[in-house]
Amino acid sequence: MGLSIVFTLLGLAVPVGLVAVLVLAIRRRGQDGSPGTGARGVRRFFQYLLLLALMIVAAIGVADLLGRLLGADAPGGETLARTLAFTLVGLPLALLIAWWTRRSMARDPEEAHAVGYAIHLTVAALIALVVAMFSLQTVLAGLLRGSFDGGALAAVLVWGALWALHWWLAARALDHGRAWPHLLFGSLIGLGTTIVALGLLLGSSLEVLLLDGGGQLVVGSARQLAGHGATLAVGILVWVRYWLWGGLRLPRTVPWLVTVLPVGVGGGLILAVSAASVLLWQVLVWVAGDPNGTARQHFADAPGALAFAVAGLVAWWYHRALLAESHETRTEVDRVHEYLVAAIGLLAAAAGVGMVVVAVIESFTPGLDLGVSVLNTLLGALTLLLVGVPLWWLFWARIRRAQAGDPEGEVSSPTRRTYLVLLFGIAGVAAVIALIVTVFVLLQDVLAGTASGETIRSMRYALGVLLATAAVSAYHGAVYREDRAVTLPAAPLGPRTVLLIGAPAPDLEQSIRRATGARTELLVRTDGTAPPWSEEAVLAAIATQPGEHLVVLTDGEGLRVIPVHRRP
């Protein structure tokens, strides 16, 4: 189960991690030139890898022993020998390396700030979290069904304790800048578990209520409900701990926004759109198409689809609400959201256009349909259009309105440019693949002398993709040309690089980058004669200098800006 996945991942991580450490070490050595930096990185890599592996081995052994104490039905012989070996060797060695790590940190505070330590804490906490989640789910599901699993309870206690220890260590050692991978990945694990479990639980409940009828005894559905309920409880616990009490309070950096926008908003919406499409299609086929079997058989997947549509909408609504706090001005984040939703709607609509082409070819070419019908394909196309077009139009019209209000701001926004370029790129790749498939199928039959209506039928999906990408490209090509007709104000002329020499100033570089777009570097004077920087004064001084490359220096006499050439 979870453990075998953990070991596989670890096996993969070793070579990848080693290469990454070596590259980092060599790069750093190139920068500061101090010998030993690289060797320290490699030493830390093995130290933390060994610690992690020993901790996992020890936890497996201790959990199994504790499980036997709690009454788990575990075999003796080989299994017991492995458990004892894991415990007797793994536990003392893990403690020894942990003690050695702690001592080296007390001696050299830099150890605690090493990247290797941060990665170790993150990976160890997440592995312990996942194993503890699996075990807790087993325990809770067992309790709901009226049974008790001592082995799973022991695993919860041991892996839970390991997780709690690493959570505590991470909270102490990792600042905001380094805590985000732990908190955000943990949040995603919690969110994913919660949403999937919510969909499954709701789906099973609806199935029992709507399809099976109250009086009918359905074997196994109570068991299933208990399992899904336990998964949901575990998912919510993890999500609350990691997101509501952790990730949500992180500064809104790029990784945070990626978690909320493409994953939370985008993932939730894609789930909702897909599930709603399945549901709508089943209803349309039942009403107007060629349904298969009885209503019970035809709508067998409907409760699940409805449940996942609801779960996806909840995820979308929640993450959307997080971003809707400031809405007076249209920020780049608002733009990303609108273009993202428009893209998801467009994807569904384009798939609908492609399906219409497929249905047309199916209806005109010979062939026998066994259990499927062209009418159902056409209803599938209609479903995708009914779901995709309104969604796309709603958000695209909003974007068009914003563009009408502020053409320059919208057209020059990086989000819009990325959106258009991405669309052309994806459409281009899809079209090329579809074209290759079309030509391949055609030539195959032409060379074999069997070209017929059946050949066109085999090409129908590729032809559908070709036409859909052509439609998408034609429309966005027109939009792109319209964008290019908008005259943008000339880019402000400013320096390309700025070298600052003076007192430490963590935010100054970012301010200069934001104001001028220049690349910056700050060298701190060690002679102690530099007064603190004044951001306004630096920006004003840079603005008056026409040079491409500037050195900005502060000393007792004030601020000096020196234009330089990068090369002599």
DSSP 93-116: HHHHHHHHHHHHHHH-GGGGG-HH
Minimal CA–CA distance to 280: which of 159, 386, 132, 130? 386
User: Which residue in the set 406, 454, 521, 535 belongs to the binding site for another protein (CB under 8 A)?
Assistant: 454
Long-range contacts of 90-95 (CB under 8 A, 24+ apart): 90/54, 90/55, 90/57, 90/58, 90/60, 90/61, 91/58, 91/61, 91/62, 93/54, 93/58, 94/51, 94/54, 94/55, 94/57, 94/58
* Spatial separation of the C-alpha atoms in residues 136 and 140, rounded to whole Å: 6
Nearer to another protein, 167 or 308 (CB): 308
Residue with tokens 């777009």: 517
Backbone angles phi, psi at 524, to 5 degrees: -90, 130
User: Which residue in the set 8, 253, 331, 452 belongs to the binding site for another protein (CB under 8 A)?
Assistant: 452
Residue 440 found at the interface with another protein (CB under 8 A): no
- The residue ranges of DSSP E strands in 393-547, in sequence order, are 497-502, 519-524
132-140, 204-212, 362-370, 506-514 -> range binding another protein (CB under 8 A): 362-370
User: Which residue in the set 111, 207, 338, 362 belongs to the binding site for another protein (CB under 8 A)?
Assistant: 362
Residue 371 found at the interface with another protein (CB under 8 A): yes
Measured from the Cβ of residue 279, the count of other Cβ atoms closer than 10 Å reads 22
Strands of 549-555's sheet, edge to edge? 519-524, 497-502, 549-555, 558-564
Q: Tell me the closest approach of the beta carbon of residue 420 to another protein, in angstroms.
A: 12
User: Which residue in the set 184, 378, 391, 431 belongs to the binding site for another protein (CB under 8 A)?
Assistant: 378
Residue 406 found at the interface with another protein (CB under 8 A): no
User: Which residue in the set 49, 276, 310, 359 belongs to the binding site for another protein (CB under 8 A)?
Assistant: 359
User: Which residue in the set 105, 318, 407, 445 belongs to the binding site for another protein (CB under 8 A)?
Assistant: 445
Q: Between β-strands 497-502 and 558-564, what pairing exists: parallel, antiparallel or unpaired?
A: unpaired
Query: Coil, helix or strand for 145?
Result: coil
**Sites for another protein among residues 204-233 (CB under 8 A):** none
* Spatial separation of the C-alpha atoms in residues 498 and 519, rounded to whole Å: 6
User: Which residue in the set 7, 99, 364, 440 belongs to the binding site for another protein (CB under 8 A)?
Assistant: 364
Residue 463 found at the interface with another protein (CB under 8 A): no
User: Which residue in the set 413, 438, 458, 520 belongs to the binding site for another protein (CB under 8 A)?
Assistant: 458
Q: Tell me the closest approach of the beta carbon of residue 369 to another protein, in angstroms.
A: 5
Residue 365 found at the interface with another protein (CB under 8 A): yes
Residue 450 found at the interface with another protein (CB under 8 A): yes
Q: What mask, x for binding another protein by CB under 8 A, covers residues 261 to 300?
A: -------------------------------x--------
**Sites for another protein among residues 480-499 (CB under 8 A):** 481-482
Q: Tell me the closest approach of the beta carbon of residue 186 to another protein, in angstroms.
A: 32
Structure tokens at 92: 């003392």
Q: Tell me the closest approach of the beta carbon of residue 403 to another protein, in angstroms.
A: 11
Q: Tell me the closest approach of the beta carbon of residue 81 to another protein, in angstroms.
A: 43
56-64, 138-146, 245-253, 377-385 -> range binding another protein (CB under 8 A): 377-385
Residue 363 found at the interface with another protein (CB under 8 A): yes
Residue with tokens 């798939």: 351
Which helix (H) or strand (E) is 270 found in, with range? helix 268-288
What is the separation, in whole angstroms, between the first and last Cα of the chain? 63
31-39, 126-134, 470-478, 524-532 -> range binding another protein (CB under 8 A): 470-478
69-77, 300-308, 373-381, 548-556 -> range binding another protein (CB under 8 A): 373-381
Minimal CA–CA distance to 242: which of 194, 177, 312, 172? 194
User: Which residue in the set 57, 353, 431, 466 belongs to the binding site for another protein (CB under 8 A)?
Assistant: 353
Q: Is the separation of the CB atoms in 513 and 505 below 8 Å? A: no
Q: Between β-strands 549-555 and 497-502, what pairing exists: parallel, antiparallel or unpaired?
A: parallel
Residue 104 found at the interface with another protein (CB under 8 A): no
31-39, 174-182, 380-388, 488-496 -> range binding another protein (CB under 8 A): 380-388
Which helix (H) or strand (E) is 302 found in, with range? helix 302-323
One-letter amino acid of 490: A
User: Which residue in the set 386, 430, 479, 538 belongs to the binding site for another protein (CB under 8 A)?
Assistant: 479
Q: Tell me the closest approach of the beta carbon of residue 339 to another protein, in angstroms.
A: 16
Minimal CA–CA distance to 162: which of 48, 8, 14, 57? 57
DSSP, res 214: T
Residue 438 found at the interface with another protein (CB under 8 A): no
Residue 385 found at the interface with another protein (CB under 8 A): yes
Measured from the Cβ of residue 255, the count of other Cβ atoms closer than 10 Å reads 15
Residue 397 found at the interface with another protein (CB under 8 A): no
Instruction: Give the interface with another protein as residue ranges (CB under 8 A).
Output: 292, 352-353, 356-357, 359-360, 362-375, 378, 380-382, 385, 445, 448-450, 452-455, 457-458, 471, 474-475, 477-479, 481-482
